[in-house]
Amino acid sequence: MLKRAQALFLSLLSLVVLLPIAGSALAESSASQLNMPQGVTEVSQVAYDIHMIMIWVCTVIGVGVFGFMFYVMYAHRKSRGAVAENFHEHLGVELLWTIVPTIILIVMAFPATTALLKVYDTDNPDIEIKITGYQWKWQYEYLGEGVKFMSELNTSLDEVYGRAPKGEHYLREVTEPLVLPVGKKIRFLVTGNDVIHSWWVPDFGVKRDAIPGLFTAGWAKTDEPGIYVGECTELCGLGHAFMPVVVEVKEEAEYNEWLAGKKAEAAEYASTIGKQWSAEELMVKGEEVYIRSCAACHQANGEGIPGVFPALKNSPIALGAMEGHIAILIDGVAGSSMQSFAEQLSEVDIAAVVHYERNAWGNNVGDVTQPLDVLNYKQSK
């Protein structure tokens, strides 16, 4: 009996006393796999520092408290002949272990406050970027520059569903990353279009909820070029795990070059809007847009998910008048998860996807939707 109690006790001891110690040792190791990243901005650094202070304070208290507890469990066992005493209160001790923790907390409140002030120091930015969360992608708008684009997952569904081997950057790659220059203070203004999302880049220490009807602000300034990957951290529906954040920080010259390129692209696009597209071109472009922006809900085969997302195959809207079909994409459907795509997709994209939906999966309307039709609808409103 004694042997078994000792064996049990020892295993308990080794497992449990080691937990906080192992935890802090792991935290000290350089592998970012186990600990919070130090990151590349002041904000991520203060978060890391206060995190490590807390870990050490907790470890010291934990070792003390659990150490005493294990001593008691060893020394005052009945099997060792311990006889219980009968004391059950001691004002001095009770006051002591109320006051001492209070003092520790007050001391810790100082670095915690300083750190938070740093997080909130969003004034006087060099560059402002509006970030809008959509189900399930991000839109980045460079305020005052006329540059705006969507950034969405670039990992194929085949990789997700195991029909193709997973690439090195599985779920950490996007169609177009947010590009930032080094050495500039950047303010992020984060908002949501449909449900609440949350924009998080661990290496920047920036996590701000993207809430419809509200802006939240965060900031970053870094001197280290590189690619930084983050995530959406607020449950936003079935694509929650599939809308990563990728940020590419470039040297200033490269950034300026990139920005000029984006502006030229926008100007060029404006000139293509009046072009007449052929049915074949629209089908190819439309399928691409559909898979990227529509298939998550309406499914690749156009059959939707019964009871949640309506089928487009044989739907009265897809088979009805073209203007009604365009209207759904531009205006959305109030009170449902069908949002307005007017801001997310270009006129060309909308024309192509409308054409595709009217002529795919056995839908056979046969008309051709041109970007100008979309533009006309927008202007008629």
Partner 1 sequence: MAHGPATLADGWKAYISRWVFTTNHKDIGTLYLWFSFAMFILGGAFAMIIRAELFQPGMQLIKPEFFNQMTTMHGLVMVFGAIMPAFVGLANWMIPLMIGAPDMALPRMNNLSFWILPFAFAILTSTLFMEGGGPNFGWTFYAPLSTTYAPESVNFFIFAIHIMGASSIMGSINIIATVMNMRAPGMTYMKMPLFVWTWVITAFLLVAVMPVLAGAVTMMLMDINFGTSFFNAAGGGDPVLFQHVFWFFGHPEVYIIILPAFGVVSQIIPTFSRKPLFGYSSMVYATAAIAFLSFVVWAHHMFTVGMPIAGELYFMYATMLIAVPTGVKVFNWITTMYKGSLTFETPMLFSIAFVILFTFGGFTGLMLSIAAADMQYHDTYFVVAHFHYVMVAGAVFSGTAAIYYWLPKWCGKMYNETMGQVQFWVAFIGFNIAFMPQHFLGLAGMPRRYADYGLQFADWNMVSSIGAFIYGGAQIMLLFNVVMTIRKGKPVVEDKVWEGAEGLEWTVATPAPYHTFEKPPEVK
Asked if 200 interacts with partner 1 (CB under 8 A), we say yes
Q: Does 14 bind partner 1 (CB under 8 A)?
A: no
Which stretch in 175-183, 194-202, 312-320, 369-377 sits in contact with partner 1 by CB under 8 A? 194-202
**Least gap, CB of 274 to partner 1 (angstroms):** 33
* Dist CA 232 CA 198 (whole Å): 5
Minimum separation from the CB atom of position 145 to partner 1 (A): 24
Q: Which residues in 216-275 contact partner 1 (CB under 8 A)?
A: 216-217, 229-242, 244
**N residues, the chain:** 381
Is 378 near partner 1 (CB under 8 A)?
A: no
Q: Does 303 bind partner 1 (CB under 8 A)?
A: no
244: Cα separation from own chain's centroid: 6
Please state the closest distance from residue 146 (CB atom) to partner 1, in A: 26
Q: Which residues of 237-260 are buried (b: 16+ CB within 10 A; e: fewer)?
A: eebbebbbbbbbbbeeeebeeebe
**Binding of partner 1 at residue 149 (CB under 8 A)?**
no
Cα angle, residue 325 at apex, residues 320 and 329 outer, rounded to 5°: 165
10 binds partner 1 (CB under 8 A): no
Interface region with partner 1, contact rule CB under 8 A, candidates 257-265, 269-277, 305-313, 360-368: 305-313
CA distance 2 to 274: 90
User: Least separation, in Å, of the C-beta of 249 and partner 1?
Assistant: 18
* Segment contacting partner 1 by CB under 8 A, of 27-35, 141-149, 271-279, 366-374: 27-35
Alpha carbon 239 to its chain centroid, in Å, reads: 11
Note whether 118 and 42 are within 8 A (CB): yes
Q: Does 9 bind partner 1 (CB under 8 A)?
A: yes
Select 108 or 143, whichever has its Cβ closest to partner 1.
108
- The verdict on 60 binding partner 1 (CB under 8 A) reads no
C-beta of residue 39 within 8 angstroms of C-beta of residue 111? no
- The residue within the footprint of partner 1, chosen from 14, 33, 124, 276 (CB under 8 A), is 33
Burial of 113 (0-12, 13-18, 19+ CB in 10 A): exposed
CB of 302 to partner 1, least distance (A): 17
- The three-class DSSP label of residue 248 is strand
From 249-257, 331-339, 345-353, 364-372, span contacting partner 1 (CB under 8 A): 331-339
Residue nearer to partner 1 on the CB measure, 115 or 350: 115
With beta carbons less than 8 A apart as the criterion, state whether 335 and 277 touch.
no
Beta strands across the sheet bearing 147-151 = 147-151, 137-142, 127-134, 186-192, 216-220
Measured from the CB atom, the residue of 215 and 258 that comes closer to partner 1 is 215
Number of residues that bind partner 1 (CB under 8 A): 117
